[in-house]
Structures are given as C-alpha cells and as structure tokens.
Amino acid sequence: SQTIHQWPATLVQPVGSPLSLECTVEGTSNPNLYWYRQAAGRGLQLLFYSVGIGQISSEVPQNLSASRPQDRQFILSSKKLLLSDSGFYLCAWSGVSRNQPQHFGDGTRLSIL
Amino acid sequence: SQQGEEDPQALSIQEGENATMNCSYKTSINNLQWYRQNSGRGLVHLILIRSNEREKHSGRLRVTLDTSKKSSSLLITASRAADTASYFCATAYNNAGNMLTFGGGTRLMVKP
C-alpha cells in the first residue's frame, strides 16, 4: 500500500534562517506531488505541484521554492524565512490519471520567531 | 481565490443527529471531493464525485452534486463524537496535474 511521510512534525525557526521540509512517498511510481500551506482555521492554499522529476509549478509568488530530485521525493525550501511563512505545511500525492483523490501527509507546523 | 466555499463555517450537533454541510463553487469542474481533517493532522479523503454523477454513498456518508447550481452537499447520518473534525470540499478543474482548489471548511462538533 502507498504511504506518505512528511517531516519534521513541528519546527521553530528564527526569521532569516533557511528551511528544508521533506516529503517522500512509498508504494507508487511517478505520482503527482503537491505542497500546501494552511493558515489557522482556514482552507488549503496550493503552493507547488509536480508531475515529474525536476518539473515544478508554482501557484503563488512567495519566499519559498520546491524541488523534486527523485521520483518520490518532494522538498520545500527557503533561503531566508519571513514571519509570514509561519503555518501548517502539508504534502500530498495523487495518481496521474484524471479523477484521482489526493493523499496527505501529517503536516509540519512551522513557527517563525 | 478559493473555488469552493463551505456552509456553515461551524456546526454543533448532538450524537445521533445528522450533519449536513454544503459547498458552492464557481466554474466547471471534473470532480468534487470531500476531505476530513482532525485537529493538527493531515487531510483524509472521504468521497470523490464526478461531474456526471449526482449522488454517491460511502457508509454513513452521502454526497450530492448539482452542477446546474454549482453546489454539493455532504450528509453524515447518525453522527458520532468521533466525527468531530473539519470537513473540506475541493474541486478539480480540467488540468493535467489533478490540482484541487479547497474551500475554507466546516468545523463540525458532535457532542456526546
């Protein structure tokens, strides 16, 4: 069966520090991969998605970047964190054919001090 | 901007009652999906309903889709305290990446 791992679960970082959040998927090949951010009590905002290795699309301009160095690895990064980068970050995967659900990791709670 | 908007934003009911949540969207879709999120956790997929379907069931869950009104509803029958969570609708439009646009969610509290 397929599983998705996301870490760390919580992270406290100072303003201006770098960021690297990692997400890996097991049990499937060539998944679509997604990074979302969720503000407290709100819905999800799509940040990046990827349909293949090295293929990254950004949905909103921001201080973050994403990379997909391997088929089942998706990394969210920042060179210098801002206070506004605080939030709950979720990684998800889906199959490539149409009408597929997305499957989510347990998220990373990021607090910027 | 968010494609789907849930109504109500919050709902409090007694165990055993039914809970109905509604979702409205703005543009044509391929499918509409409902997800559940327990506090501080990731989302769990509940049901996917395609644009050519009108109703779908899964256990105590019933989802309807009215494409003419661009709306959907999620009904949870005989609710349990364990159903307490936030519920989100998400719409998939015609795109190669199966991207979803999420609404703001309905926070459901089921009191024992």
**A66-100, pLDDT tens digit by residue?**
999 999 999 999 999 999 999 999 999 999 888 89
Interface contact flag, B43 A106, Cβ < 8 Å: no
Span B5-111: which CATH code? 2.60.40.10
Chain A residues with CB-CB distance to B40 below 8 A: 88, 107, 109
* Residue A89 C-alpha, separation from nearest chain B C-alpha, in angstroms: 9
Q: How many domains does chain A have?
A: 1
Chain A residues with CB-CB distance to B44 below 8 A: 104
pLDDT over threshold 90, residue A60:
no
CA dist., res. A54 & res. A50, Å (int): 8
Q: Which residues contact A22 (CB under 8 A, 6 or more apart)?
A: A6, A7, A73, A74, A75, A76
The closest CB to that of B48, out of A41, A101, A107, belongs to A101
Burial class (CB in 10 A: 0-12, 13-18, 19+), A33: buried
Residue range A2-23, pLDDT digits in tens: 899 999 999 999 999 999 999 9
* Residue B105 C-alpha, separation from nearest chain A C-alpha, in angstroms: 6
Dihedral angle at the C-alpha atoms of B24, B89, B83, A90, nearest 10 degrees?
-150
Q: Give residue A42's pLDDT.
A: 86
Mutate which of B61, B100, B101, B107 to disrupt the A interface (most A C-beta within 10 Å)? B100
Give the pLDDT mean for A46-72.
92
Chain B residues with CB-CB distance to A100 below 8 A: 98
CATH code of residue A52:
2.60.40.10
Give the pLDDT mean for A54-65.
87
Q: Give residue B1's pLDDT.
A: 43
Beta bridge partners of B31: B50, B92
Q: Which long-range contacts (CB under 8 A, 24 or more apart) does A49-58 make?
A: A49/B97, A49/B99, A50/A74, A51/A96, A51/B96, A51/B97, A57/B97
Q: Give residue A112's pLDDT.
A: 96
Q: Nearest to residue A92, comparing CAs of A112, A111, A110, A66?
A: A66
pLDDT over threshold 80, residue A61:
no
Interface contact flag, A96 B43, Cβ < 8 Å: no
In A, minimum Cα distance to B39 occurs at A41
Chain A residues with CB-CB distance to B90 below 8 A: 102
Q: Nearest to residue B102, comparing CAs of A57, A74, A42?
A: A42
Q: Could you read off the pLDDT tens digit of each residue along chain B, which spans 112 residues?
A: 445 688 899 999 999 999 999 999 998 899 999 999 999 999 999 999 999 999 999 999 999 999 999 999 999 999 999 999 999 999 998 665 688 999 999 999 999 9
Q: Give residue B3's pLDDT.
A: 58
CA dist., res. B54 & res. B56, Å (int): 7
CA dist., res. B63 & res. B73, Å (int): 6
Count chain A–chain B contacts defined by CB atoms under 8 A: 64
Domain carrying residue A34: 3-112
Q: Give residue B95's pLDDT.
A: 67
Chain B residues with CB-CB distance to A33 below 8 A: none
Give the pLDDT mean for A108-113.
96
